[in-house]
Amino acid sequence: MRAIKIGLIGESHPGWERILLQEGVPFSGVLSPPGADEFSAVIAASTTDEAKVGWLRSYLAGGGSVLCPAHIFGRLAGVGPREVFINYMLEDTEKAFGRAGLVDIGLECLVAHNANAVKTEGGKPSVFAGEYGGGTVVVLPFDAGDMVLDGRTSTKSFYSGHGRLPFEHVSRVGKGGILKLVSRSLEFLHHRRLIPYGHLWYFPSGSPGVFSWRVDTDGAGPDEISDLYKLTAECSIPASWFLDVKSQQDFIHIFRQMEGHEIGIHCYEHRKYADYDSCLSDVMKAMEVFKRAGLLTSGFAAPYGCWNEEIGRAIEGCGFEYSSEFSYDYDNVPSYPYLKKKISRTLQLPVHPVSIGSLRRQGFDDDSMAEYFEVLIDRKLLSREPVLLYHHPKNGGAGVMRHIFNHIGERKLKILRMIDYARWWKKRNACRIDLAIEGEVLKVSGQNLQDDVWIHVTRPDGSETLVNGSLASVDLRQLNWSDVAWPLPLPTDIRRIRTFNPWIPIKRFEDFIFKKFFRKRDMNRYRI
């Protein structure tokens, strides 16, 4: 019997633990020299010391598989890595490293001397994947655990076939892309050893994906709120509403009457939080109004998607079950932020940061907006990302919304409120699963296993299946296997999104002028 289990070498590493919990792959720390059958793959974090580099050497000699950063590989191979500034990496057209998309890095990195995969913006390979020392290695140009803890933010353009690109201020590092690079690496490392790769599926009960419709009220009036509620009710979409409470408090009873929808807090006053105190006092004010109105809430989404550790601490301090800010993360599965040496209790649910409002600002008409979201939804579905979109009632767009909801129905995504996906994810996170393979039989054991948390299994021949995670033992020959469906390759002009976007300074200048010469209400109407 062979375990499907990842060994983690290096000091306790919250970044790696985050990635491995997101991926849902069984893992544990490596405390003594690992046997080739004890771990199906080993990850060496950047803190791996010289003695443990020796463990890697003997593990590889036994046919093991290792994922490590280039400076650790340099110590194994005796050939140092090259220093390279990597702005971004692009998924490979070969399937081993497909599905990662464009991965933003923005850092000085170390690239293995023999890199042969995943090209950077300059067209040079940044990853080595292949045989080494009797086993198989994947060598990344960074420690992925460090990368997902990177808190930098920047304004980025997002791809569209339309001439003008939408943009938003988001997390600098493409953390969703980092997770996918690790996931593809682990899959490659297992398949090279002819071991199936298995991890907890990202969505409940084997659904192909989930869809949530987040609504930030942002100064909307009661008629705009009612119109949007009616449209979502008609399309059977239970939305997650986040109230900018100051502008909504006079008619807050409307939200109490919404059936099956979720009501969360966006803020009291719609402005950027400067620090912990300003966030805490504003949110407390909003919570007070909620309490008086008899509204219960578990979810939060900060104005302008702003997040940093101070805001994260204030949100956690207010007791929210989850929050959603794209300057923490976007286009990814949920995760728990790391705050001042401890893991937050408030889960993060990343959304796609471009809304109908951002597209309209770039001159998109209804047809091109509908096309944007259709392409986005299909790519997310095939990239195994949740489809979490957000909207503002003041932006209208009823026709586009109907198109989105219709497309979601056609693709058979599971429609959930954000709180439902957050609670399911917490349950998934609590599963402590052990997987082993004996011949063609997959053995499943562990703690807190759940009926609706399934296991995704892929085989070296490129096929995949989903297994109910509460089963103890599954004969893989009895299951339906299908070829893994891959997204279309990235558009040939994808690099356009990381070249200068003149609309960013133009729109910023417009915002500046509006702020200076118009009242705040008008500003709100303009820039949502």
**Which stretch, 85-93, 154-162, 212-220, 455-463, contacts Zn ion (CB under 5 A)?**
212-220
Query: To the nearest whole angstrom, how small is the minimum distance from the Cβ of residue 289 to Zn ion?
Result: 17
The H-assigned helical ranges of 364-519 are 366-383, 398-410, 418-430, 503-517
Q: What are phi and psi of 456, to 5 degrees?
A: -95, 125
Q: Report the alpha-carbon distance of residue 1 to residue 117 in Å, rounded.
A: 32
85 vs 251, which CB is nearer to Zn ion?
Answer: 251
133 vs 350, which CB is nearer to Zn ion?
Answer: 350
∠ CA 223-227-229, nearest 5°, is: 115
Query: To the nearest whole angstrom, how small is the minimum distance from the Cβ of residue 159 to Zn ion?
Result: 24
Task: Please report, for residues 83, 332, 422, 460, the alpha-carbon distance to residue 97 in angstroms, rounded to integers and kept in the order given.
Answer: 22, 17, 28, 14
Rama region for 216: left / alpha / beta (φ>0; ψ in -120 to 50; rest): beta
72 vs 239, which CB is nearer to Zn ion?
Answer: 239
Q: Give the β-pairing of 240-244 and 262-267.
A: parallel
Query: To the nearest whole angstrom, how small is the minimum distance from the Cβ of residue 514 to Zn ion?
Result: 16
> Residue 458 is encoded by which pair of tokens?
């892929």
Query: To the nearest whole angstrom, how small is the minimum distance from the Cβ of residue 217 to Zn ion?
Result: 8
| Residue ranges in 290-309 that form contacts with Zn ion under rule CB under 5 A | 303
195 vs 243, which CB is nearer to Zn ion?
Answer: 243
Query: To the nearest whole angstrom, how small is the minimum distance from the Cβ of residue 273 to Zn ion?
Result: 12
119's enclosing H/E stretch is strand 117-119
238 vs 393, which CB is nearer to Zn ion?
Answer: 393
Query: To the nearest whole angstrom, how small is the minimum distance from the Cβ of residue 311 to Zn ion?
Result: 14
269 vs 510, which CB is nearer to Zn ion?
Answer: 269
Q: Does 216 bind Zn ion (CB under 5 A)?
A: yes
101 vs 303, which CB is nearer to Zn ion?
Answer: 303
Q: Report the alpha-carbon distance of residue 203 to residue 224 in Å, rounded.
A: 32
**Which stretch, 113-121, 162-170, 209-217, 478-486, contacts Zn ion (CB under 5 A)?**
209-217
Query: To the nearest whole angstrom, how small is the minimum distance from the Cβ of residue 397 to Zn ion?
Result: 16
Q: Report the alpha-carbon distance of residue 414 to residue 363 in Å, rounded.
A: 31
64 vs 303, which CB is nearer to Zn ion?
Answer: 303
Q: What are phi and psi of 428, to 5 degrees?
A: -60, -45
Query: To the nearest whole angstrom, how small is the minimum distance from the Cβ of residue 388 to Zn ion?
Result: 16
Q: Does 146 bind Zn ion (CB under 5 A)?
A: no
Q: Residue 2 forms beta bridges with which residues?
A: 437
Give the residue, chosen from 218, 262, 310, 325, that forms a contact with Zn ion under the rule CB under 5 A: 218
Q: Report the alpha-carbon distance of residue 52 to residue 388 in Å, rounded.
A: 41
239 vs 437, which CB is nearer to Zn ion?
Answer: 239
- Binding-residue total with Zn ion (CB under 5 A): 3
Query: To the nearest whole angstrom, how small is the minimum distance from the Cβ of residue 213 to Zn ion?
Result: 15
Nearest to 315 by CA among 352, 362, 261, 276: 276
Q: Does 325 bind Zn ion (CB under 5 A)?
A: no
Burial-class residue 483 by CB neighbours within 10 Å (0-12, 13-18, 19+): exposed
Q: Which residue has the tokens 């407390």?
A: 284
| Residue ranges in 61-90 that form contacts with Zn ion under rule CB under 5 A | none
| Residue ranges in 475-494 that form contacts with Zn ion under rule CB under 5 A | none
∠ CA 360-157-314, nearest 5°, is: 90
140's enclosing H/E stretch is strand 135-140
| Residue ranges in 229-288 that form contacts with Zn ion under rule CB under 5 A | none
Compose the 13-42 pattern: x for residues touching Zn ion by CB under 5 A, - for all others.
------------------------------
Binding residues (CB under 5 A) for Zn ion: these are 216, 218, 303
